[in-house]
Structure 1
Amino acid sequence: MSLSAQDFLTDFHHTATIGATANGGVDRQAGTAKDGEIRSWFRDWGTERGYPVRVDSIGNMFMLAEWTPGVPFVLVGSHLDSQPLAGRFDGAYGVVAAMHVLREIDAEVQASGEKPSYNLGVVNWFNEEGARFAPSIMGSSVFVGLMNEQDTLSVSDSSGTRVGEALEGIGFLGTDPRPEVATYAEIHIEQGRILEREGIPLGTVDRSWYTQKLDIEVLGEQSHTGATSMADRRDALVAASKIVVMVNEVTEDFEEDTLLSSVGQMHIEPNSPIVVPRRVHLVADLRSDSQEIVQAARATLLEKFDVLAADHRVEVNVEDFDVRPPRHFQESGLELVEKLMADKGLDTRRIRTRAGHDAVALSTQVPSVLLFVPSVDGVSHCEREFTEDEDLVTGLDALTEVARALVDGALQD
C-alpha cells in the first residue's frame, strides 16, 4: 500500500474516534458538540496544509485550493454528521477521501506549475443525515436553492433548539461567501449489497429513487391506565401501533423490493407509565424507483387510516413531508467515469441509489458524479456498518482520477 493511501486510512480511521460509540460506531448528530469537534478537526487539517476553510451561513464548510483567483471550483466531498449510534463510514469516508484527493492533486499542480482549468475544493455539507433536524440533505439543498435558508435555520429539534442556534453554539454559523461551483463529485459506501454480491469494486449512480415521508399525528384522549375501563379508552398509541404495521405491510401489495417503507420515528404524549397516551406523532418513509408505486401505497394507507380512526375513535392527521422526485445524473458524467475506470482496468456498473445523498441535490444545478464502493452485508446506519480498507483505497484512487478530469474541464461544454 502506498504512503498516500496509508495516510488516508490513518485520517479516516481517526474520524471514528470522534463521537465513538461502545460498539464501533459513531454518534455525531448535526449541530452537537461532537459535530463541532470533527468540524474543528476538518478546519485544522486544511489550514495546517495551507488550504483556507470557509463556512457559509447554513454551516457548510469549504476547504479550498484556489490556483487561479476568480475561477469556479470543482467541489468534492460529502458529510461528517451521523445518525445516532451510526456507522463510521457513511459520509465521513467521502469527506476524508476528498481531502486526500485535494492534497494529491494540489501537489501535482505545484510540482508541474501548470494550473488546471478549474480550482478544487472539499466540502463538508451540513446535516445530510436529518437525524436531529429534519429534513435530511439540508446544507446542500440550501446551497442549490432547493430549500429556503431562513426557513431552514428556523427548523427545531425535539427539544426546541433551532438550527441557527445549534450552529452558533458550536461556532460554525458562518458568514463566508459560497464558492462558485463548476462540477461536483462524491464517493460513498453503497449501503446495499449489489456491489458485494456481484464482486464489482465501483458503482456509478445513474439516478435516485422517488421518496416521500408522511407526517402522521394520532389524537386520542388522555386518561388513567388503572381507572379507565377498556371500552372508554381512546388510546392514541394503540392506533399508532397499528399504523406502524400498516406502513410495513403495504409493501406486500407490490413486487418484492419495489417499495420500501417504515416508521422510523415516534413521539408519545404524555409518555407516562400510568396515562393512556393522548397523542402520538410518527414519520413514515416511503421509497420506490416508481413514483406511481409510492403514490398508490400512500393512497392505500390514507384509506386504511380513515377506517382505523373510526374504529378506535381517534383522529389521524396526515401531511406530506420531504417529497423528493427521482433525479437523473448526467450521462456525460457516467460515461466519463466508465472510460476512466476502463483505462485503469477497473470494473464498474451503473447503480441506482435508494438513499438520499448530497450529490443528488447538487445534480440539479451542476454536472455531478456519485460513486459507490461495496458495503459488507449491505448494512448501514448502524454500528456494524463496514467496508474493507482495500475497497476504500480503490474508491479513493477512482475519485482522484475523476477529480483530475473535472478540474481539467471534462464535463464542461
Structure 2
Amino acid sequence: MKLHTPHPVIPVNQLQAGMYVIAIISQTGGMEIAQMGLVTTRQQIDDLVRRGVLTVRVDLARSKLAGIEQIISPGLATLSGSSQRTAGSANGEGRELKIRRLYQEARELQGKFIRQLKAGEPIDITPLAEVAEEMVDTMFTHGDAMLCLARIRAKDAYLMEHSMNVAILLANFGRYLGLERSVLKELTLGGLLHDVGKIMTPDEVLNKPGKLTDEEFTIMRQHVVHSYDILSQTPGITATMLEVAANHHERLDGTGYPSHLKGDQLSLHTRMSGIVDVYDAVTADRVYKQGMQPTQAFRILLKGADHHFDRGLVTKFIKCMGVYPVGTLVQLSNQRLAIVMQRNEQQPLKPVVKVIYHATQRHYLDVQWLDLAKSGVQESIESTVDPKEFGISLAHFV
C-alpha cells in the first residue's frame, strides 16, 4: 500500500460521523461483522466499540466529512493494513485470528465486487488491490497459516472460495519461484478475479451435478471470455491480471480454451495459473462430488505434464506445496490423526502437526502441537487420510 492511500486503516476511536467504512479490519472475539457504509451517528461508533472492533478501513472519497485527510492522523493513514493488524495483536488478537480477518475481508470485498458487477454499478478495484498486497505480505510472514485457510471451504460458496484459494496458491507458488513482489500482487489480484465471468453463466450449467453436455460445456467455456471482457474494461487491471483470467484454461498442446494457445504462446504466468486452477478445482468438495486429497491431485498434474502442463513447473509446484501440504490430515505411527500445520523444507517428511484424533479408538484427543523433526519425537507419518472417513471437520481445528 502506498502513502496517502484513499482507503486508510484507522483505530475505531478515530471514527467520526461522516466517514465511510468499507471493512472491519480487526476485532476481538469471534463474531464476524460485515458492517459497511456511512457513519451517521455516534451510536453506530459506540456499537462497533461494544462489539470489539479495533480497526476499520475508511474510504476517503465516499466520506462526507470536510477535511477528512487532515482529521485522520497522517501517521496512521499511511500505515499499511498489515501494520495495523500487527498493532491489533497487542489488543489480544492472535496471528491466526488476524489472518482469518484478512481472508474474511478479501471475501467481503470480492462479494461486493461481484454484486456491483451484477448491478451494473461503477467498479473500483482499489480495495481488492490493497487486500491482495496484504495477502502477499502475509504469505512471506505467515504463509503456512494462509495455505491452511485455503484448505477450508464451503460446498455452496465454490466460486468465491475457489478464487480466494487460487489467489493464495498463486502467491505461494510465485514466492517459491522468486518472482518480484509487484508481480505477486498482480498474480494474487488476478487470482481473486480470474473467474468473475462466471456471474454470466446460468446456474443450471454452473452447478450441474454430473457431466455437461457438449452444448452446456460450450456455454461454460464462455466464462473465460466474459471474464476478459469485464476485466479489460475495469480501471486498474494490468496485463498480468488479464492473462490469469483469460488463459488459465489454455494447455501446452493447444487443447485448452478459449484461444487454443500452444507451446511458447503460454507465458510463465499462464502456465502457473493452469496448474494452480486445476489443483484447487480437483481438491474442492462440491455439492455433487468429493474433493481429492492433495497427493491424488499431484498425480493428475504429473499425468498431464508435457501435454497439458509444464513438467518443470508441475515439479516445482509439488515441491512448493510439500509432500504433505498444509491442511492435510495424516495418520501417525501411533494411530493418532493430525493436521499438517507447518512445512519443513529441510525435512519434508517431518512437518509440524496438530494432533486431534485417535484413529483406532475413534475419539477426539486434547489438541497437541507436535514438531515431527524435533529431537526425541518418535512419531512419524504413515499415510494421508480423508477427513470424511472419520467425520472430521478440519474447519474446527485450523
TM over 0.5: no
Larger helix proportion, structure 1 or 2?
2
Tell me the TM-score normalized by structure 2.
Answer: 0.27
**RCO comparison, higher one (Cα < 8 Å, 6+):** 1
